[in-house]
Amino acid sequence: MRIRWLNRCTDLIVTITIAMSGFYLALMNNAYAHQEPKQPNVLLIVADDLGFNDLGFFGSEISTPNLDSLAKQGVVLTHFYTAPTCSPTRAMLLSGTDNHIAGMGVMEEGFPPEFEGKPGYEGYLNFSVAALPELFKDAGYRTYMTGKWHLGQEESNGPTARGFEKSYALMDAGAGAFNNKLRLFGDGEANYREGKTKIEKLPKDFYSTKFYTETMINYIDNERDTGKPFFAYLAYTAPHWPLQAPRASIEKYRGKYDQGYDVLTEQRIKNLQALGFISKDVPVYPQLLGEKPWRELDPEEQRRQARTMEIYAAMVDDLDQYIGKVVTYLKESKQYDNTVIVFMSDNGPEGNDISAYFPWMPEWLEKCCNNEFDNLGNADSYTWLGPNWARASSAPLRMFKGYTSEGGLRTPAFFHYPKKFNAQTNNKSFVSVKDVMPTLLELANIKHPGAGNYKGRKVVAMQGDSLVPMLINGNKSIDRKLNYTGWELYDYRALRSGDWKIYYSPIAAAEPLVKVKKWQLFNLADDPTEMMDLADKHPKKLAEMLELWGTYVKENGVIEPID
């Protein structure tokens, strides 16, 4: 009897011990899963068509407290350069090399037949480059993407094919902000994919900025127990046209722009000067040819123009609010301190007349949309910023999106990582979007394969340089592999070396001070708005720059258009 009792006691002790051991192991595993990974998380945020001075920390009247706070604790790059339009910039961002090498020598939406089959002109992020998310995935990172892809329409060249484990992407150049899938161009519906699956219907309450943010937070949070760091690419479509936002967001800015775009330009300039971002003797680039001063618009024109800017401001405000929600989530989940946050815009503001690009656009707008005043900003409306508000948005710089002048290439950007970076609110070093990839790889201790084989294919080396010495040590310059940076898109050309820049425009359009199909030379240290052409005064410097241009064309496979 006693032996049987002892055996039962022994069995009970063993059972309790096993149970306690399991409970202890579960606790340990759970604790381990929520430990911060040794490598930093990365949150890469890209705004779409946001102008140089559109954020509060640059003196804008638009409310952007969350971005302002991140910027003030980070390294603000006041001379950050992209490509002149979106998909070439994104190709450079995710490859670390020139867009002509990475597959976006021209944009998919405007593909001249003479480029068909040419290397670097595939119209998608090609496989001659090792893509940034691929390398993060190889290194054990969780890789997520929400928002605008614009680097290929098919599953075979979409986010999943380039290293993103989870993605919810607009494949096109843009779309309406709500759930009706309004296309950017013509009939049909915008193209969305979740992973490899085409999306037939968007959620009923879809608002792009809100949806991309919340989906990204869910992606990060749902797999947090893995203990792995994340690489998150949050590629917003705001404030790209068509300009649309919730009515409450628009109402916040009612009346804010009734004084017009000329007054706004002057005020933005004064604010930039007061904050020390530009000197007080820098002139603003002149008003475009054929555009009216605000005082010459009739009351109805002024009313519609003011509403357009109200919608744009609402989109920027919402962008900031939802970025704030990501930051709040990271703080509450104890991931904020170990997360590198990079913010940038993909190019300057959209100042072109969209309807002038396509002869069929006015007729299509009549059919697709309701652009009566009271409906502007709703899901079935379609409008864009226009040249005068864009001039204010990029002031004091020359022109805007699509141009290889400063207003098309220079955008707001900052790196945020207080754990390692000391705040620098006005770092004036020249920085290229090509530098982002090598910087993030170094921070994560990930090696690029260089020029050679990668996963059974030949890839090119990165052209960009790591900014880590500047970000951590405050270095004012970077030891660069190349002493120049070039740009070309649809025969708009530019090249910068040191403070010198050459610029070439194939057409006049409405651009003041341009010399069509003739190179202009500027010294950006003295003339950041590119108003003083020095080509005739410094012919030797022009010849030197043109020699570099020839090198750029040859090394990057640039095809100079016939027409």
What pLDDT sits at residue 34? 54
Instruction: CATH number of the domain at 475, please.
Output: 3.40.720.10
- Identify whether residues 14 and 135 lie together within a single domain: no
% of the chain residues with pLDDT over 70: 93
**514 found inside a domain:** no
Task: Look at residue 191 and tell me whether its pLDDT is greater than 60.
Answer: yes
- Identify whether residues 419 and 359 lie together within a single domain: yes
What pLDDT sits at residue 114? 85
What pLDDT sits at residue 358? 81
The chain-wide mean pLDDT, for the chain, equals 93
11-20, 146-155, 493-502: the lowest-pLDDT one = 11-20
> What is the number of domains present in the chain?
2
- Identify whether residues 123 and 14 lie together within a single domain: no
Active site residue 86: yes
- Identify whether residues 25 and 77 lie together within a single domain: no
Q: Which residue range is the domain that position 162 belongs to?
A: 41-482
- Identify whether residues 307 and 410 lie together within a single domain: yes
* Higher pLDDT pick, 3 / 156: 156
- Identify whether residues 26 and 81 lie together within a single domain: no
Q: Which of the residues 100, 150, 240, 416 is marked catalytic?
A: 150
**515 found inside a domain:** no
For the beta carbon of residue 332, count every other beta carbon within 10 angstroms.
9
Rg from Cα positions in the chain? 25
- Identify whether residues 120 and 3 lie together within a single domain: no
- Identify whether residues 282 and 261 lie together within a single domain: yes
What pLDDT sits at residue 204? 97
Mean pLDDT of the 361-379 span? 95
Active site residue 369: no
SS (H, E, C) 492-540: EEEEEECCEEEEEECCCCCCCCCCECCCEEEECCCCCCCCCCCCCCCHH
In which band, very low, low, confident or very high, does the pLDDT at 457 lie, cut at 50, 70 and 90?
Answer: very high
What pLDDT sits at residue 447? 98
- Identify whether residues 245 and 375 lie together within a single domain: yes
89-103, 146-160, 461-475: the lowest-pLDDT one = 461-475
Q: Phi first, then psi: what are they for 25, rounded to 5°?
A: -65, -40
111-115, 296-300, 489-493: the lowest-pLDDT one = 111-115
What pLDDT sits at residue 21? 45
pLDDT one-digit tens code per residue, 512-538? 999 999 999 999 999 999 999 999 999
Are the C-beta atoms of 407 and 494 separated by less than 8 Å? no
The CA-atom distances, in angstroms, between 400 and each of 110, 332, 395, 472 are 19, 39, 9, 32
**306 found inside a domain:** yes
Q: Which of the residues 86, 100, 240, 369 is marked catalytic?
A: 86
Domain termination site, one of 456, 482, 508 = 482
pLDDT one-digit tens code per residue, 402-420? 999 999 999 999 999 999 9
Task: Look at residue 246 and tell me whether its pLDDT is greater than 90.
Answer: yes
- Rounded-to-integer distance, Cα 31 and Cα 25, Å: 10
**533 found inside a domain:** no
131-145, 321-335, 356-370: the lowest-pLDDT one = 356-370
Task: Look at residue 18 and tell me whether its pLDDT is greater than 80.
Answer: no
Are the C-beta atoms of 293 and 262 separated by less than 8 Å? yes
Task: Look at residue 430 and tell me whether its pLDDT is greater than 60.
Answer: yes
The CA-atom distances, in angstroms, between 498 and each of 127, 152, 408 are 32, 34, 19
**543 found inside a domain:** no
Mean pLDDT of the 165-186 span? 97
Task: Look at residue 339 and tell me whether its pLDDT is greater than 60.
Answer: yes
**230 found inside a domain:** yes
- Identify whether residues 89 and 3 lie together within a single domain: no
- Identify whether residues 209 and 61 lie together within a single domain: yes
Mean pLDDT of the 324-338 span? 98
Task: Look at residue 8 and tell me whether its pLDDT is greater than 80.
Answer: no
In which band, very low, low, confident or very high, does the pLDDT at 36 lie, cut at 50, 70 and 90?
Answer: low
In which band, very low, low, confident or very high, does the pLDDT at 5 lie, cut at 50, 70 and 90?
Answer: very low
Domain termination site, one of 482, 517, 537 = 482
Question: Is-cis flag, bond preceding 396, omega within 30?
Answer: yes
Three-state secondary structure call for residue 178: strand
Mean pLDDT of the 313-334 span? 98
What pLDDT sits at residue 563? 63
- Identify whether residues 89 and 214 lie together within a single domain: yes
**343 found inside a domain:** yes
% of the chain residues with pLDDT over 90: 87
Domain termination site, one of 441, 465, 482 = 482
- Rounded-to-integer distance, Cα 430 and Cα 499, Å: 9
Q: Which amino acid is at 150?
A: H
**189 found inside a domain:** yes
